Amino acid sequence: MIARNELPVVVIGAGPVGLAAAAHLLERNLDVLVLEAGPTAGTSVISWGHIRLFSPWRYNIDAAARRLLEGTGWLEPDLGANPTGAELVRDYLAPLAATPELASRTRVGHRVVGVTRQGADKTRSLGRERRPYLVRAITEDGQVVDVLARAVLDASGTFAQSNPLGDGGLPALGERAALTSGSITGALPDVLGVGRARFEGRTTLVVGMGHSAANTLLSLVDLAEQNAATRIVWAIRGGSARRLFGGGKDDELPARGLLGTRLQEATESGRITLMKRTALEELVGEGAALRVRGSSRGEAFDMVVDNVVNATGFRPDLGILREVRLYLDPVVESPSRLAELIDPNHHSCGTVPPHGEALLRHPDDGFYLVGMKSYGRAPTFLLATGYEQVRSIAAHLAGDRAAADAVELNLPATGVCSTDLAENGEESACCGVSRPVRLPEPVGFANGVLHGRSGDLLAGN
């Protein structure tokens, strides 16, 4: 058996956080291999390339990635400008993936289907810590590729795993059939671009109350101004949309504040029909349209729409990790120690401090969920948070414990934060703390049990 420390670190996913992880690992002289399911780096970002981020470039570029790019003649974008997803890929992710250091270590078209310890399933303990990880991927032409790794960082995100439309976290009756037929779109369809013919002059139901929903709703409003036959219905599970309207001029990310302000104006003017406390129960195909049945504020409704946009948020795909010993929170499905900081039942996004390796480790040493996937079902993630996660993990894997524990991060304050998320049960706004917070001493595992301090994690907030 090959010694673990002679193997590369495998990073799953070539999105912003995955490539940042690779950059930090290489900077620490650790070998790395990036496995990306799509045909190019940033595949998920490309799918919502028409959307403009509410955070400017200064929060979207990782420090180690910048250092790699600076050696290539890369021109840094205007740090105060807000890029679209397409610009994020074109001006940052694609050049980063093309650097000689990363290009030679990235395998696109490799979809990871399983992670385990070589020769040991989840139940086997004897000598487990000495065994390397085995990461299994399927290539675009169906070949099985097994890769051995000293450590694994899963940065595959959650964008491909939408929450269901039905009540209580279950699909509505007929939802799977409607999804297969194409009557349901994902969270960010290109309403004004390639999808225009699908939405113009038609009735669309948007379900959800996060920024994905807001972007789609405002694009539909723009379309309705050009074609008055376009109808917009917005369904939320909570009793108020004030959380998404919030921020305004008090939001330190102006684009995010403007999003809520415009949405509030469009709703109050009647251009958007808002349905509160909505539960979708059944979806039935009716020709090219879709009949939607459910209740709103306790009253039954039965409507026919042309499109349903599922903007209810995302959840992690944990199926590929079935043979890894994980320590996950039963509510948020994030690393357990991180969950108490991000659980939307108890915290607004403004109370989430920066965090690193100490809060992200699992009983299987060397395995980490990073980026959006590390937040499980909690919706308050920002790219800058993921960049600090992987910087800390790379320091730990290189044996620099002091650097791993010195977690600091500055993020913009917001007026959007709220604590009514448990009632709404939907995708929330993204934001973060506005000053550095130092984490407590590292935690550890013994016999599968987590040990360490937890009472002072919010100190300084």
230 CB-near residues (< 8 Å, 6+ apart): 199, 200, 201, 202, 203, 204, 220, 223, 224
310, β-bridge pairs: 207
pTM for the predicted model, two decimal places: 0.83
* Amino acid letter, residue 378: A
What pLDDT sits at residue 346? 66
CATH hierarchy code of domain 167-310: 3.50.50.60
Q: How many helices (H) and strands (E) does the chain have?
A: 16, 18
- Binning pLDDT at 50, 70 and 90, where does residue 413 land? low
Q: How far is CA 174 from CA 201, 234, 266, 280, 438, in A?
A: 25, 20, 31, 11, 48
184 CB-near residues (< 8 Å, 6+ apart): 165, 175, 178, 283, 290, 307, 308, 309, 310
d(CA 114, CA 153): 13
d(CA 290, CA 339): 38
What pLDDT sits at residue 246? 64
Backbone angles phi, psi at 302, to 5 degrees: -145, 110
Torsion of CA 120, 122, 126, 129, to 10 degrees: 80
What pLDDT sits at residue 411? 62
Q: Is the separation of the CB atoms in 311 and 216 below 8 Å?
A: yes
Fold of 4-160+314-418+428-451: FAD/NAD(P)-binding domain (3.50.50)
SS (HEC) of 247-304: CHHHCCCHHHHHHHHHHHHHHHCCCCEEECCEEEEEEEEECCEEEEEEEECCEEEEEE
Question: Could you report the per-residue pLDDT of 383-396, keeping only the tens digit for each?
Answer: 889 999 999 999 99
Backbone angles phi, psi at 150, to 5 degrees: -75, -30
Run of H or E including 155: none
* Amino acid letter, residue 178: A
Ranges 20-24, 87-91, 353-357, 433-437: which has the least confidence: 433-437
Average pLDDT of span 166-171: 92
- Binning pLDDT at 50, 70 and 90, where does residue 352 land? low
d(CA 73, CA 37): 29
373 CB-near residues (< 8 Å, 6+ apart): 154, 155, 156, 157, 158, 316
H-state helical runs in 41-190: 43-47, 63-70, 85-88, 94-98, 100-103, 175-181
367, β-bridge pairs: 152
Each domain of the chain, given as residue ranges in start order, spans 4-160+314-418+428-451, 167-310
Q: Is the separation of the CB atoms in 92 and 56 below 8 Å?
A: no
Taking residue 49's Cβ as centre, other Cβ atoms within 10 Å add up to 17
273, β-bridge pairs: 233
Question: In the numeric block, which tokens belong to residue 272?
Answer: 């958007």
* Amino acid letter, residue 151: A
189 CB-near residues (< 8 Å, 6+ apart): 195, 198, 199, 216, 309
What pLDDT sits at residue 255? 55
- Binning pLDDT at 50, 70 and 90, where does residue 368 land? very high
Residue with the two structure tokens 């009514």: 420
Q: Return the beta strands (E) in 99-197 as ranges.
A: 106-107, 110-117, 133-139, 144-149, 151-154, 184-185
H-state helical runs in 71-165: 85-88, 94-98, 100-103
Question: Which of 26-35, 124-133, 154-163, 348-357 ranks highest by mean pLDDT?
Answer: 26-35
Examine the pLDDT at 340 and tell me if it is beyond 60: yes
Coil vs helix vs strand at 225: helix
* Amino acid letter, residue 359: L
Residue with the two structure tokens 């935690």: 443
Ranges 73-77, 175-179, 208-212, 417-421: which has the least confidence: 417-421
Ranges 99-103, 172-176, 258-262, 367-371: which has the least confidence: 258-262
Largest CA distance in the chain: 68
Please compute, for residue 350, the number of CA atoms within 13 A of its CA located in the half-sphere on the CB side: 13
99 CB-near residues (< 8 Å, 6+ apart): 68, 69, 71, 72
